[in-house]
């Protein structure tokens, strides 16, 4: 049962569907005795970007489908800054200077401009080279989250081993994913009770 649950989470992939900034932070996860990094290689980044495709409006499909090694390094670096920025913002603290500078630099490196096409559609286009556009889009999402008063409503998953965070849409939510962490904790409690009963 435990083994199944662990494999299940590793196979499920990262938690997605939270605000994009939290999805980024949540690409690092933990199971008892096992750290998971869903952005450990280019294939992982490709899979994650594919899940988030609809939330990356200024990135062309070619970029989402074929990120570079430079993109991967930049996204991983941004993720560290994002974790630190969000952790401090949750406590109402000011960002650390290095995190703030890195975030602003990432946004500055690939800004968005608007472009009117001949068919009269107005598009947002992001300029910048490899390793800048994807990370700029994500940096904007992180900045938006840190600036949002809702940042103080972010919660940790209630499973003792889990490091995932989420923004609850209803006050009773306790788990990142009830099917994974909720179930795992129920199973653990069941075994504890049984052990106690057997004395």
Give the nearer residue to Zn ion in terms of CB position, either 51 or 100: 51
DSSP of the chain, one letter per residue? -HHHHHHHHHHH-S--SS-HHHHHHTTEEEETTEEEETTSSHHHHHHHHHHTGGG-TTS-HHHHHS--HHHHHHHHHHHHHHHHHHHHHHTTPPPPHHHHHHHHHHHHHS-EEEEE-TTS-EEEEE---TTTHHHHHHHHHHHHHHHSGGGGG-EE-SSTT---EE--SSTT---S-IIIIIHHHHHHHHHHHHHHHH-
Size of the site for Zn ion (CB under 5 A): 6
Give the nearer residue to Zn ion in terms of CB position, either 58 or 177: 177
Applying CB under 5 A, among 84, 139, 142, 164 the residue interacting with Zn ion is: 164
Q: Which stretch binds Zn ion (CB under 5 A): 2-10, 52-60, 71-79, 159-167?
A: 159-167
Nearest-approach distance from CB 166 to Zn ion, in angstroms: 8
Q: Is 142 near Zn ion (CB under 5 A)?
A: no
Q: Which stretch binds Zn ion (CB under 5 A): 57-65, 103-111, 123-131, 170-178?
A: 170-178
Nearest-approach distance from CB 178 to Zn ion, in angstroms: 9
Q: Is 29 near Zn ion (CB under 5 A)?
A: no
Map the footprint of Zn ion across residues 115-134, applying CB under 5 A.
none
Nearest-approach distance from CB 164 to Zn ion, in angstroms: 5
Applying CB under 5 A, among 145, 159, 165, 185 the residue interacting with Zn ion is: 159
- What Å distances lie between residue 171 and 6, 20, 42, 153, CA to CA? 27, 20, 37, 10
Nearest-approach distance from CB 82 to Zn ion, in angstroms: 18
Site string for Zn ion, 174-193 (x = CB under 5 A): --x----x------------
Nearest-approach distance from CB 78 to Zn ion, in angstroms: 23
Residue 37, beta-bridge partner list: 28
Q: Are 64 and 75 in contact (CB under 8 A)?
A: no
| Residues at the site binding Zn ion, with contacts judged by CB under 5 A | 157, 159, 162, 164, 176, 181
């Amino acid at each position: 049962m435990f083994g199944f649950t662990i494999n299940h989470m590793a196979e499920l992939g990262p938690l997605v569907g939270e605000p994009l900034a939290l999805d980024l932070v949540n690409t690092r996860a933990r199971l008892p005795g096992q750290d998971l990094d869903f952005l450990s290689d280019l294939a992982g980044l490709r899979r994650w970007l594919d899940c988030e495709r609809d939330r990356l409006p200024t990135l062309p499909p070619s970029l989402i489908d074929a990120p570079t090694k430079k993109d991967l390094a930049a996204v991983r670096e941004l993720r560290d800054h994002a974790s630190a920025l969000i952790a401090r913002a949750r406590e109402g603290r000011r960002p650390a200077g290095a995190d703030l500078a890195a975030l602003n630099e990432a946004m500055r490196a690939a800004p968005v401009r608007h472009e009117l096409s001949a068919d009269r559609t107005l598009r947002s286009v992001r300029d910048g080279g490899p390793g800048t556009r994807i990370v700029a889009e994500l940096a904007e999402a992180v900045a938006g989250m840190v600036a949002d008063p809702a940042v103080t409503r972010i919660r940790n998953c209630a499973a003792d081993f889990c490091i995932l965070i989420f923004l609850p849409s209803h006050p009773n939510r306790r788990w990142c994913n009830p099917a994974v962490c909720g179930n795992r904790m129920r199973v653990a409690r069941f075994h504890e009770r049984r052990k106690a009963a057997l004395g």
